[in-house]
Structure 1
Amino acid sequence: MSRSERLFDLIQCLRRHRRPVSGQVLAAELGISIRTLYRDIATLQGQGAPIEGEAGLGYVLKPGFMLPPLMFSDEEIEAIVLGSRWVARQPDRRLSAAAVSALAKIAAVLPDDLREDLDASTLLVGPSAQAIEGIDLGTVRQAIRNERKIGFLYQDAGGAASQRVVWPFALGFFDKVRVVVAWCEMRQDFRHFRADRISGLNATDTRYPRRRQVLLKEWRATFDKPRES
């Protein structure tokens, strides 16, 4: 067990005891020495955890304390680094920059041992395929968040072009393409639009009439018959 996992388990153990609990009891529950327990208590107190008490009297965690989600297991660290590195290589420049920024913020507040694990992660992301879409995916993501209609010119696999107005509610990131998942007003059905076949993207201030969570749920029910426009 890593030190960070042990500190997290200590917090969880203290949460289970509403009254002061002796160091011997805590050490036995965690399977550590009393000396290690005292050192871990001091570490948590130094990091701001409101643990009251002292050796010989017992310890109690003040109610309402929420542990920041900064105590990660080794695999959680690997997942965070791998996911952030993958997003950082995507063609969506704003999302890529956000991934780099988020990872830096997480690293800045991690304990030293976890920061070293994060910096030394050996899970690497290979080069991404050359993106050729000519639209700003950030505009699509904004429309999804705000539940706004977008319009664009779409060219299908056969080369036929058509003007569309859609209700975007999801954006799929694949190795070589990005796909806008939306309700199409022209087709009156769910459609998948490859970003590299979209041009003339027009963001509107018109809110579409249904919640994106509802659209997402209904779309998932059609997985057995996926269609591109």
Structure 2
Amino acid sequence: MRRADRLFEIVQVLRRASKPLTADTIAKELETSRWTIYRDMAALVAQRIPIRSEAGVGYILERGFDLPPLMLTTDEIEAVTLGAQLVIANAEPALARAALDVRPRSPPSCPTTFTRSSTILSPAHCRRPGRGGMTGSTFKS
């Protein structure tokens, strides 16, 4: 894996984490050495990525750090969210993890129905008055 790809993946791993992760844990997930993770973390911190660490505890990405938002229409946000949630619910773990990374992070223009991580969308979520949308007969899971 190229270093740039690994640095990006480290940020993604930290974004998904709900608690501090040790260098060993990150190294196992990325199939590299703990020393490589130490060097990469130093590089990320030097680039002002808000990573906090404590010896013996691990690394954590400070809240609020995220990738810049994409400029998407409401329909595009809904399409991406629907697709991502279907993949999360039905795909193999590696692809589901990628879908978790792509899922919108509550942009202001996105209805809360489409951003709740616990909600799996159904055809009813896709219907809007006056617009048609998917129906139960055309939606196949």
Query: What TM-score results when the alignment is normalised by the length of structure 2?
Result: 0.46
Name the structure, 1 or 2, with higher relative contact order (CA <8 Å, separation 6+). Answer: 2
Q: Which has the higher strand share?
A: 1
Q: Which has the larger radius of gyration?
A: 1
